[in-house]
Chains A and B, each alone.
Chain A
Amino acid sequence: DTGVSQDPRHKITKRGQNVTFRCDPISEHNRLYWYRQTLGQGPEFLTYFQNEAQLEKSRLLSDRFSAERPKGSFSTLEIQRTEQGDSAMYLCASSQAGALTLYEQYFGPGTRLTVT
C-alpha cells in the first residue's frame, strides 16, 4: 500500500495523559498536513509542513499541541495534558507540489482519539 498511513488507528487515553500520533505520507510528497475532524463535521486544518519546515499553524493548534517532521518524511503530532475536548479523528494528508497538483491532498485513514 503506497497511500498515507497513520498509527495508531485508535487511541483511548485518560484526561491529562500525553499522546503521540504518527503519519507516514506518500513517499514522494513534500507537503504534509494535519487536520482534526469531530463527529458530524468536516475536517479542520491544524498545521502544514513543507519538507521538514512547519510553515503554518491554525489557531486551533493550542500550546498543548506540537507537531514535527524531523527528516521531511514521517510526522508526529503530540497532544500534552489531553482534555475531553480533544476527542476527535486526527487526519493526516500529503501532497506533492506541482503545476497540476497544486491543491490535491491525499488523506490517511485517521487516528481516532477518545479521552475519558
Chain B
Amino acid sequence: GESVGLHLPTLSVQEGDNSIINCAYSNSASDYFIWYKQESGKGPQFIIDIRSNMDKRQGQRVTVLLNKTVKHLSLQIAATQPGDSAVYFCAENIGSSNSGYALNFGKGTSLLVTP
C-alpha cells in the first residue's frame, strides 16, 4: 500500500554539524507534509510543514525540501545541538475534511547528537 517511510532509522552527528533526515513517500496525491520531533516520554512536537506547491521552506535552523519528482522529503537542521536529539517523523496528510485531515506518519529516525 501507499505509505510514508524513512531511509535511515538512526543518525549520529557531532554537535555543530548539520543534520539531514530523509523521508520517501509513495502517495502522489499527498499535498501536505509535516516534520515532527518526539523526545522520550513526550508527544510529537511540530517543527515545520510544507505544501506540495512548494519546493523549500525555512524555519529557525530548519529547512524542509520537497522533491515531488522522486517523492522525497528531507529535513535539514543547521548547527545541530544536543537538544536536537530525538526521534524525527515525517507525516503526510491522508485525510479529507471528514477526517480533519488526519496524518499518516512514517517510522521515524532517531537523531543522536554527540559532543
**A74 close to B (CB within 8 Å):** no
Q: Is the CB of B46 within 8 A of A42?
A: no
Q: Is the CB of B105 within 8 A of A42?
A: yes
Q: Is the CB of A56 within 8 A of B49?
A: no
Partner of A42, one of B41, B101, B108: B108
Partner of A55, one of B45, B46, B99: B99
A57 to B101, CA, bound (A): 12
**A43 close to B (CB within 8 Å):** yes
A49 to B45, CA, bound (A): 21
Residue of A nearest to B5 (CB): A42
Residue of B nearest to A32 (CB): B100
A27 to B106, CA, bound (A): 29
User: Contacts A42-B106, A42-B107, A50-B100: A56 and B43 contacting too (C-beta < 8 A)?
Assistant: no
**A106 neighbours in B (Cβ, 8 Å):** 46
Q: Is the CB of A104 within 8 A of B34?
A: yes
Count the A-B residue pairs with Cβ separation under 8 angstroms: how many? 70
A22 to chain B, nearest CB (A): 15
**B103 neighbours in A (Cβ, 8 Å):** 43, 45, 103, 105
Which residues of B are interface residues toward A (Cβ below 8 A)? Answer: 4, 32, 34, 36, 41-46, 49, 89, 91, 93-95, 98-108
Some 27 contacts from A to B, beta carbons below 8 A apart, are A33-B102, A40-B107, A41-B108, A42-B89, A42-B91, A42-B106, A42-B108, A43-B44, A43-B89, A43-B103, A43-B105, A45-B94, A45-B102, A45-B103, A48-B99, A48-B100, A55-B98, A56-B95, A56-B99, A91-B44, A102-B101, A103-B49, A103-B103, A107-B43, A107-B44, A108-B43, A109-B41
Nearest first, the 6 A-B pairs at minimum CB distance are A42-B105, A107-B43, A56-B99, A45-B102, A48-B100, A31-B100
Which residues of A are interface residues toward B (Cβ below 8 A)? Answer: 4, 31, 33, 40-45, 48-50, 55-56, 58, 91, 93, 95, 102-110
